[in-house]
Structure 1
Amino acid sequence: MLSICSKTTKDLSFYRTVHNFQHYSEISNFSEFYDYFQWSKDNAIKIYIVGNGSNTLFTKKNIKSLVLKNKLPNKIEVLSEGNILVSSSVLIIDILKYCYESSFDSFYYLASVPATVGGALAMNAGRGRHHNLSIYDFVESVTFFDAEDNQIKTMDKTQIVKGYRETIFTGLTSKLILNATFKFVPKELDSNPIIERRKWSKEFQDYSVPNCGSVFKECDFKILEKLKGLCISQSCFSSKSINWIINRSQDSKPIVLLIKIAQFLHLLKFRKAILEIITVE
């Protein structure tokens, strides 16, 4: 049975802006998702699946998209030594804690990212472009439900990754990530890499105010450097972390305006400014 409601909250994006979600629900299995998908087609409304909201910008006060909160059961299942099956609703930090306690190499550079596994897989989360490191370095396969043909599918990572910060799941989608299998190898850890990453993040990244991390996945950093500290109302390009917007406002409009300013300056210089965050209306 469908259970679509209206909901006013700031908890669906790490920008912590307040929105009126006209069509909101939660899904705990793929069959529920299929029903909502059919409803969205019948009503010509887009779907957005939200995990923890760590890379999501809702651009208007009233959100018309059908926003579905991923409430699949949390599950980390050990298949064999170094091989684990993880549901999409599990937080990244929970995998990293398992890897550290088991002395495995892992994507510890994501320890400061408050994302779910599903969100990280959808956006191909990783380090900066020049590091050439991604969560998919440890992924064997991803299982998802494709509502277009009402089938559960499993794909190898080579079939999923489309590019830097982009996969077949990125953005508004008809595909619900159910779980993924990971392969980790033993590694001697002299210190706690989770703590080390968080120390580094505290020193070099701006977590003093709500934010969603990097705004653009492709941009001219010389332009963004000049925008550091620029504020509109209570939203600002961070003075500490280039390519970050920090926010104290309940309204997302100032964030949207800051992004448009950056995009306009790129246009004047004939440069690309491609968003990393996902925008939802």
Structure 2
Amino acid sequence: MVNVISLDSNQLSTFRTHHHFEHYGEFHDLDEFAKYSHWAALNNAKVYILGNGSNTLFTADTIRALVLKNCIPKLLKSLPDNRLEISSSVQINDVLNYCYQRSLTSFYYLASVPASIGGALAMNAGRGRSHNCTIYDFVESVTFFDGETVKTLKNDEIARGYRKTIFTGMHEKLILSAILQFERTEFGISPISERRQFAKEHQDNTQPNCGTVFKSACYPIMDRLRGIRVGEAQFSQKTSNWILNKSASSRNIMRLIAIAKLLHLVTFRKIELEVISVN
């Protein structure tokens, strides 16, 4: 029997908006997750698998989806040839510290991202589009549960695009673990400290946020939106395409998003959300 509860919280998204979650649960192993999935099917509920909530926008006061927090045991297991088996619940910075201490290459550009490995793999996390580098540059394989069976896909078998994979969004594909491959290297200065310094200088973390809001947008338009405020939410003055929030409600965040979309619509420009909308 699964323990589906109702919950009031502002801790499930890094926007720190407050919501009533009608259906919330935490799973610690695959068996628990499968039971929750069965409950969702019986109750006609959509499933959202939550890591750290660093890319999540809850869009209603009451969230009716089944929100499942990934609490599977953390695993970092060294393998031959500078490879690492890692569970999806492990934090990005745990992997980066592991790699740095062993003089290994890694996705150090994610040192400023408060995400789990599962979340990073689901979103194909990386640097900006022009840099053409993502976490999948280091992925050998990903093991996941597709709602019926456990499968393992090699890197080139995983369909993905910019900030998108087969694991993105609301569904029942649970990333269990991945095998990552690194290479030996030498460091002059710490790439972790270097990235955090970059983030301090260029990213606005003075208030709750989910980082980059749109994965595709016209930056001249986004730059003109800097500083625009609706209630206690605003586009950052410092960082383009970045919403800061002090409100308990997500409504003003959604209004800012709507303004950006409208400006792109009337100027025939493409815009696409990066944050995942959950209701």
TM-score range, shorter chain: over 0.9
RMSD, aligned α-carbons:
0.7
Give the partner amino acid of 1:93.
Answer: N
Deviation, structure 1 residue 158: 1.8
**Match runs of 1:86-97 below 5 Å:** 86-97=86-97
In 1, the alpha carbon distance for the partners of 2:11 and 2:52 equals 9
| Aligned equivalent of 2:17 | 17
1:124·1:161 contact (CA, 8 Å) conserved in 2? Answer: no
CA contact (8 A) 1:48 1:173 kept: yes
Partner of 1:266: 264
Determine whether 1:34 maps to 2:34.
yes
Which TM-score applies when normalising by structure 2? 0.99
Which residue does the alignment assign to 1:198? 196
Matching residue's letter, 1:140: E
Q: Which residue is 1:100 aligned to? A: 100
Quote the residue 1:142 is aligned against. Answer: 142
Aligned-pair identity in percent equals 52
Structure 1 regions of 5+ residues with no counterpart? none
The question of 1:216 aligning with 2:214 is answered yes
Q: What aligned pairs does 1:119-198 form with structure 2 within 5 A after superposition?
A: 119-147=119-147, 150-198=148-196
Partner of 2:84: 84
> Take 2:129 and 2:28, find their aligned partners in 1: how far apart are those partners?
34
2:247 corresponds to 1:238:
no
How far off its partner does 1:81 sit? 3.4
Q: Deviations over 1:153-174 (max 9, x none)?
A: 0001222242100100000011
User: TM-score with structure 1 length normalisation?
Assistant: 0.98
CA contact (8 A) 1:245 1:255 kept: yes
The question of whether the paired residues in 2 share the 8 Å contact of 1:4 and 1:24 is answered with: yes
User: Which residue type is aligned with residue 160 of structure 1?
Assistant: I
What is the alpha-carbon distance in structure 2 between the residues aligned to residue 240 and residue 127 of structure 1?
Answer: 19
| CA deviations over 1:71-117 (Å, ceiling 9, x no partner) | 01001000113100000000000000000000001100000000000
Following the alignment from structure 1 to structure 2, what is the Cα–Cα distance between the partners of residues 115 and 35? 26
- CA–CA distance in structure 2, aligned partners of residues 268 and 76 of structure 1: 49
For 2:128, the aligned partner's letter is G
Confirm whether residue 8 of structure 1 aligns to residue 37 of structure 2: no
CA distance in structure 1 between the partners assigned to 2:262 and 2:31 by the alignment: 43
Stretches of 4+ moved more than 6 A in 1?
none
Which stretch has the larger CA shift, 130-139 or 161-170? 161-170
Matched to 2:105, the amino acid is D
Post-superposition offset of 1:248: 0.8
Q: Distance in 1 between matches of 2:109 and 2:9?
A: 30
The one-letter code sitting in structure 2 at the alignment partner of 1:138 is F
Residues 207-228 of structure 1: CA distance to partner in whole angstroms, max 9, x if unpaired?
A: 1111000000111111111110
Give secondary structure in 2 for the equivalent of 1:260: helix
Question: What amino acid sits opposite 1:225 in the alignment?
Answer: D
